Structure 1
Amino acid sequence: MGAIPIIAIDGPSASGKGSVAARVAAALGWHYLDSGALYRLTALAATQHGVALGDEANVAAIAASLDVAFLEGMILLEGEDATELIRTEAVGEGASKVAVLPSVRRALLQRQRDFARAPGLVADGRDMGSVIFPEAQLKIFLTASAGERANRRYKQLIAKGEEATISRILLDIEQRDARDRARAVAPLRQIADARLLDTTEMSIEKAVQIVLDGWREISAN
């Protein structure tokens, strides 16, 4: 796997890392891993099967046997389209809760590593560079202020026709940040060899260009 080019983009909730990672992958013609989707799918499947999100053993069993398929622009869970459902705030909150469970993280470890295939992979999440792909040639820690992230999430929800309030979204983001940073296994942090990319006052296009420039710089050496 070491010979396969990998760009790992980590960062907190609603920082825009998914949008940036997907566009970088498209620009390079590489595969893309949205690791957060696997945790969202695990939380959704657990809820649908009546398993409490704090029930580590049973949630881990669901994660290990997750029946998912990533198709062109669509994510199937047990044969049903879950593309939009996993993007709801409720499922995102659930994903944050199951992601702190060590057994769940172990269950999803190899599944994530299997995404590394030629010609290359762009992976985004919380621990892509620190745990899943420590051999990644380029590691990015992409972040933005909590206020800006709340504003972006608010605009996304309103655009979908969902009810939302900035204050509630900000509180949710701050709580998720606290959980992600405090968890015992693979906490959210900027590792020493990751490049910091603060997008608080930056467009997605600019962030994508910075990542691509970083990759070209590494490739040229």
Structure 2
Amino acid sequence: MSGAQVITVDGPAASGKGTIASGLGRRFGLPVLDSGLLYRAVGVLLEREGGDLDDAAAAAAVAGRLTAETLADPAFRTRGAGEAASRVAVHPQVREVLLQLQRAFAAQAGGAVLDGRDMGTVICPDAGAKLYVTARPEVRAERRWRQLTGQGESVSLDEVLADIHRRDARDSGREAAPMRPAADAALLDTSEMTIEQAADAARRIVEAARARQAP
């Protein structure tokens, strides 16, 4: 897989990485994969089947049945789906099943943008441009709280902040593909940025990375 035209956007929940990845996809005319949605789908579908999120084999079986059409379910974008995703993502078996799907997406002719937590470290270590997007936990909690309440969910800001801290600890402390910046990733802290400022900063990072690779 040639990684020259692949862009990876990693970072914790509600850092702005999804918005940035979508914007980069539009700017450079590339398909975008929200890898977090894959894990959310596994968690939600497993719970619907009455399965246990801590059952690695059952979670891996669900992961093996995912299709692009499956990911359109709006239930995958709820607060509960995020928590379920963080729990099934700790299973190496699940990550192995989804690894092949994600690498196949990245191998598309012309390149791709991949948004997640281990895109630049595990899925596409040879990506031509890598970003690690972050923000202070309190900022991320407020963003996620506004999103959830806007979707009609009843949840307090303190509850969302607790969720953020719990997911950060689980995602960065898991044995399989822990969340961390790739050694060659550009760090982008969006705490004090507007959406437009973050998008512009990301664009400049990608353009600089591509300029360095130009013959």
TM-score, structure 1 as length reference: 0.92
- Match for residue 26 of structure 2? 26
Does 2:161 match 1:163?
no
CA distance in 2, matches of 1:217, 1:202: 20
Question: What is the aligned counterpart of 1:105 among 92, 95, 119?
Answer: 95
TM-score, structure 2 as length reference: 0.94
Q: Within 5 Å, which residues of 2 pair with 1:169-188?
A: 169-188=160-179
Paired letter, 1:112: Q
- Match for residue 135 of structure 2? 144
> What do you get for the CA RMSD once the two structures are aligned?
1.3
- Match for residue 8 of structure 2? 8
Paired letter, 1:161: G
Moved over 4 A (4+): none
Aligned length: 211
1:3: Cα distance to partner? 5.3
Aligned 8 A contact 2:3 2:111 in 1 = no
1:176: Cα distance to partner? 0.2
In proportion to residue count, which structure has more strand? 1
Does 2:25 match 1:35?
no
Identity of aligned residues (%): 46
Does 2:126 match 1:135?
yes
Paired letter, 1:65: R
Does 2:113 match 1:122?
yes
Paired letter, 2:171: D
Aligned 8 A contact 1:4 1:119 in 2 = no
Aligned 8 A contact 1:154 1:165 in 2 = yes
Deviations 1:26-85 (A, max 9, x none): 11110101000100011111111111000111111111222x225xxxxx35xxx51x21
Question: What is the aligned counterpart of 1:96 among 79, 86, 90?
Answer: 86
Gap runs ≥5 in structure 2: none
Aligned 8 A contact 1:22 1:32 in 2 = yes
1:204: Cα distance to partner? 1.7
Further displaced range: 207-216 or 19-28: 207-216
1:4: Cα distance to partner? 5.0
Deviations 1:105-161 (A, max 9, x none): 011100011112122211110000000000101111100000000000111122222
CA distance in 2, matches of 1:214, 1:145: 21
Aligned 8 A contact 2:186 2:205 in 1 = no
1:219: Cα distance to partner? 2.3
CA distance in 2, matches of 1:192, 1:127: 12
Q: Within 5 Å, which residues of 2 pair with 1:10-89?
A: 10-66=10-66, 68-70=67-69, 76=70, 81-82=72-73, 84-89=74-79
Aligned 8 A contact 2:7 2:128 in 1 = yes
Does 2:193 match 1:194?
no
Aligned 8 A contact 1:6 1:121 in 2 = yes
Aligned 8 A contact 2:133 2:188 in 1 = yes
Paired letter, 1:145: R
Aligned 8 A contact 1:4 1:118 in 2 = no
- Match for residue 73 of structure 1? none
